[in-house]
Amino acid sequence: MRPSLCILTIFVSASLVLAGVGDSGKTAKNSDPPRPRPQQILPELMPPTNREEDSRDEEPVRPLPTIRYLASKEISFEFEITKLGTSNIEELQVWVTADNTKSWQLYAVSQEVLPVGRHKRSMILQEEAVVYGFTLVAKSKAGLLSRPLPRAGDLPDMRVESDVTPPTFRFKLPERDARSPDTFILGWTVHEKNLVEESFRIGYSRKKDGPWQEILEFREGAKAYAEAIAKQRYAWRIPTEVKEPVYLRLRAIDKAGNEGIAITPDPIWFDVTPPGIRLIEVAPTKSDRVKEKRFPEVRPASN
């Protein structure tokens, strides 16, 4: 085992990027895994030196770190130098994996002297909807490393995914429930792989800008809510106070905090009472009677 130089504790944060409802995020290409693009704060990638074979003690199998979903492509690393040797630190190396630890690449090298304490560095992720794993390695002027360089199969210190695209929804045309005359089936489509299901809400309002009354909202253990999210349809029993056409609104957030909203373009009638009519009598029209209103003629369609 190499002599230990320092211990790095890493934190990742990102500022929220506000965006309107848009298309689903881009996916990674099938070619080589995408690599983040550094800012000027971090120097350009330096050619990696030959990595010596290191002797590692057998470590217990650990699960991959939980993914942090960030609503920005610009992220900030916060790390801590906990101890130093007499030769101090010569450079800080940022290693990245974009293929679930199958391979690692040296992303950037920051050549600077760092004292004990907390520090921050920032970078820009080039691709959205790609899970990046990061590991920081510090190197002393004496050539000592804070940890062995990562190799295939090694777990990252932290995993992040940039998601700046809000969820997108689309309502389907409501249909009357044939089994229940006072119920309509609301249907919709969702385009979002990181949806927070507990945030899903459907509401109605007489005005397009609200206020909104909830139709479907999360309740712990509510079976109807879980089924509606899974099937993307909900049987809405129309309240008696809904006597005018109303707008429908669907809203939810993703794991990065982006909010998606869909509102029907026009108000919809949810009248559950069919009209009633009955024929009373049929009689000839007398010529001396006041002229009555006539039905428009309906002519048979020609072949």
The domain locations on the chain are 8-50+61-162, 168-263
Tell me whether the CATH fold assigned to 8-50+61-162 matches the one assigned to 168-263: yes
Q: What local confidence, expressed as pLDDT, does residue 301 receive?
A: 67
Fold of 168-263: Immunoglobulin-like (2.60.40)
Total-model pTM: 0.69
Q: For 39-45, which contacts have Cβ atoms below 8 Å and span 24 or more sequence positions?
A: 39/74, 39/122, 39/123, 39/124, 41/121, 41/122, 41/123, 42/94, 42/108, 42/110, 42/121, 42/122, 42/123, 43/108, 43/109, 43/110, 43/111, 44/108, 45/106, 45/107, 45/108, 45/109
Mean pLDDT, rounded, of the chain = 81
Q: What is the pLDDT of residues 186-225, one digit of tens each?
A: 999 999 999 999 999 999 999 999 999 999 988 766 788 8
pLDDT, residue 14, reads 45
Residue 133 CA to residue 114 CA, distance in Å, equals 23
Task: Say if CB 122 and CB 74 are below 8 A apart.
Answer: yes
Correct CATH for 8-50+61-162 of 3.30.1050.10, 1.10.10.60, 2.60.40.10, 1.10.287.990: 2.60.40.10
Binned at pLDDT 50, 70 and 90, residue 108 comes out as confident
pLDDT recorded at residue 52 = 44
